[in-house]
Chain A
Amino acid sequence: MRVMAQMAMVMNLDKCIGCHTCSVTCKQAWTNRSGVEYVWFNNVETRPGLGYPRTYEDQETWQGGWVLGRNGRLALRAGGRWKKLANIFSNPKLPSIEDYYEPWTYDYETLLNAPAQQHFPVARPISLITGKPMNVSWSANWDDNLGGSHDNAQRDVMLKGITDKVVMEFEKTFMFYLPRICEHCLNPSCAASCPSGAIYKRSEDGIVLVDQDKCRGWRMCVSGCPYKKVYFNHRTGKAEKCTFCYPRVEVGIPTVCSETCVGRLRYLGLVLYDADRVLEAASVEDEHALYEAQRSVLLDPDDPEVQREATRAGIPEDWVRAAQRSPVHALINRFKVALPLHPEYRTMPMVWYIPPLSPVVDVVRDTGHDAEDRGNLFAAIETLRIPVEYLANLFTAGDPAPVEAVLRKLAAMRSYMRDINLGRDPDDSIPEAVGMDGESMYDMFRLLALAKYDERYVIPTAHAEQAHALEELATECSLDYEGGPGMMGESGPFGEGSGELTPVAVENFQMLKQRQTADDLSGDDAPGRDRTRGRVNLLNWDGKGSPRGLFPKKPPEDQQ
């Protein structure tokens, strides 16, 4: 047994209202720079729908993740090392910018400079890629709330194999939201695909990061990741991805997406796993067995044997305690209601999902029956094949049994808690029907429905004795080089952002200061500056200062 610790997340899809707050705050924090305009480390997809980038789940096309070879060994679907090197001059499986969407801004200047005229002036969309006017025809959430689903949604890859196609009439279809971040997999195929070895998994907390100094921009990670959660910064020529907000997590505060989630549906915590068993579990032959295999890799932190091994592996005592309190461990292994997204990619993803019961509840309620009655709900789960099969395609490689079991637990929790809330005697036969007891059902209710802050997020801090190695303090003195962090936002001599890296904290501090004090966003006063480069991006504006272009230029004031 080789115990390793992993920061993991669970999202309770029943509570997601699709407000995109997580996406926007994440974008504000991480990808509000040029070169990553099209990048959303966190995005929220309406399902059924095509996702972002479009049909990323179609691995026949994109060739992401792992496959089990005929010899029973795991291999990268896109081909092994030699094939990667042979294709290095032109990656055959790289999504183009159209598969994400062409990022744009608006020609605000027309609004401001237009003369008095009969009709309102119009701010036309301008492509941030070509700098030319464009027609906006797709975006990161174009099919939000089933928009355009008449045309698109039947192409949803997850609908394959579901014989009676989902009704796409807006009123009749079942629908839910799927927020996605990087899965921080135990067996990351992006890292395995990286020719430079720049993508690594942190041995302390399992966060998968890209070493920006080692990345050479070969783009194999983008193809290798089946979730398409590694992105190519087209200005710096480097891969970028979700960082699990490691500068925050290291000091014990939740990721930005979790912290700002209004539905309180995200759970953060540690899981301990047996690193020696990862490959074996990822190589299970039967795809339907992958969920169980993945669950079995996670260790029970209350087991003294596991604790002993954890100490031997150098995992601090307080981390083991945090693993015991971990809501993620509880949801995955104690209550068994969280499922991994696409276990069939064999990457052992570590962002888990509680499938939504609400589509089922809605149907029952619409028929006029009691939607909180266990019997009605259980019957509906058995009858509503399409939602269950669809969810199974997402979370269990198509095996409906685990999805049904989870939904039954959630349904049971609903009716069990209704009795308690109405002051009736709790009916212990309800939890027993789904293999639980009353106490654990109440615990599950507490975690899922009340979702207290300190129960939702159990994040052990990185250790003080390791502090000198933390990224924030990685240099002797962060400001101690030519130009200092004031060079932020400038272009180096070799293209966007060349030169030494600025630590994240310093970068944010300087960026904030610059934004608050500067009148222009990106030095767009320079002559010959393309107007789209010095654009006004309201995403970047925190309400302080006045970015140039947002307001008309003040007339030169006369010195009185």
Chain B
Amino acid sequence: MDTLAWVIFPYICLAVFVVGHYWRWTYDKFGWTTRSSQLYENRLLRWGSPLFHFGLLGVVGGHVVGLIVPKSWTEAVGVSEGVYHFLAVSLGGIAGVATIAGLAILVYRRRTVGPVFMATTRMDKLMYVFLAAVILLGMWNTVASSIFGDYDYRDGVSLWFRSIFTFQPRSELISSAPFGFQLHALVAFSLFALWPFTRLVHVFSAPVGYLTRPYIVYRSRDEASRGTRAPARGWER
């Protein structure tokens, strides 16, 4: 049972995540979009969307530090357990509250604003369930572990998470974790499996290239140069 939940299931989900994205990219570049509904409604979105997205960026950053950076590294740079815990709970709490507030506004908007609801696909609704579940469970874990327990996920869940990617999964580390963490992990991996088939793919289109590319993009019908000059890159023509 442990092997199924903490080894087989995550690998299946990650495989679907990777292969699914490859398939979607080759099959459906046209459908690869944020599917914005700003045209329909702007007042609620103006608050909800930045709250949610910036909050989520903070949450993801927190997960990178908490899950991927080993405890020994943070201690090596002089961040003690107490300081780390304080930072994680305070910053994570702020980001989490912003995310949940944003999510609440967005879900309310999606349900109550007619055109937005009409533009919501079944896949969207399914995805919202999983996304909300992951976020709420994560928030609950943060709150619960700082009030009740003293479970240090960096000695448990994080090691298990990293062990998946080194292909030596240590399922015993998570099977001994509190139930909330287990559920959070399971739902999160389900969300990963769902990911390539939802609008969440837009995460991988974050336009960081915009910062460095030339303002005006030139493209040729025919990429081969016809002049006597050496072939120039698009924007140099």
- In whole angstroms, how far apart are the Cα atoms of A550 and B236 in the complex? 54
Chain B residues whose C-beta falls within 8 Å of the C-beta of A470 in the assembled complex = 221
Chain A residues whose C-beta falls within 8 Å of the C-beta of B205 in the assembled complex = 196, 216
The answer to whether B217 and A131 have CB atoms under 8 Å apart is no
B50 at the interface (CB under 8 A from A): yes
- In whole angstroms, how far apart are the Cα atoms of A89 and B222 in the complex? 35
Interface string of B185-224 (1 = CB under 8 A from A): 0000000000001110010010111110101111111110
Q: How many residues of B contact A (CB 8 A)?
A: 57
Binds B, one of A79-87, A288-296, A424-432: A79-87
Min Cβ gap A354→B in Å is 28
Chain B residues whose C-beta falls within 8 Å of the C-beta of A129 in the assembled complex = 40, 114-115
- In whole angstroms, how far apart are the Cα atoms of A196 and B53 in the complex? 18
Min Cβ gap A266→B in Å is 24
- In whole angstroms, how far apart are the Cα atoms of A327 and B53 in the complex? 51
The answer to whether B226 and A85 have CB atoms under 8 Å apart is no
The answer to whether A312 and B227 have CB atoms under 8 Å apart is yes
The answer to whether B33 and A216 have CB atoms under 8 Å apart is yes
The answer to whether B39 and A218 have CB atoms under 8 Å apart is no
B234 at the interface (CB under 8 A from A): yes
Q: How many residues of A contact B (CB 8 A)?
A: 67
Interface string of B128-149 (1 = CB under 8 A from A): 0000000000000000000000
- In whole angstroms, how far apart are the Cα atoms of A311 and B207 in the complex? 37
Interface of B is mostly: loop
Min Cβ gap A69→B in Å is 14
The answer to whether B30 and A236 have CB atoms under 8 Å apart is yes
A136 at the interface (CB under 8 A from B): no
The answer to whether B217 and A200 have CB atoms under 8 Å apart is yes
- In whole angstroms, how far apart are the Cα atoms of A508 and B177 in the complex? 59
The answer to whether B36 and A219 have CB atoms under 8 Å apart is yes
Chain A residues whose C-beta falls within 8 Å of the C-beta of B228 in the assembled complex = 311-312, 314
Min Cβ gap A88→B in Å is 7
Residue of B nearest to A90 (CB): B49
Chain A residues whose C-beta falls within 8 Å of the C-beta of B207 in the assembled complex = 85, 88, 195-197, 216, 218
The answer to whether B114 and A498 have CB atoms under 8 Å apart is no
A residues with a Cβ closer than 8 A to B are: 4, 81-82, 84-85, 88-92, 94, 96-97, 129-132, 187-188, 191-192, 194-197, 199-204, 211-219, 232, 234-238, 311-316, 462, 465-466, 469-471, 492-495, 497-501
Pick 24 A–B contacts, CB within 8 A, sort by A.
Answer: A85-B210, A90-B45, A92-B46, A97-B39, A130-B114, A191-B216, A195-B210, A200-B218, A200-B219, A201-B216, A201-B218, A203-B234, A216-B34, A218-B34, A218-B36, A236-B33, A313-B227, A313-B229, A314-B225, A494-B28, A494-B121, A495-B31, A495-B121, A499-B30
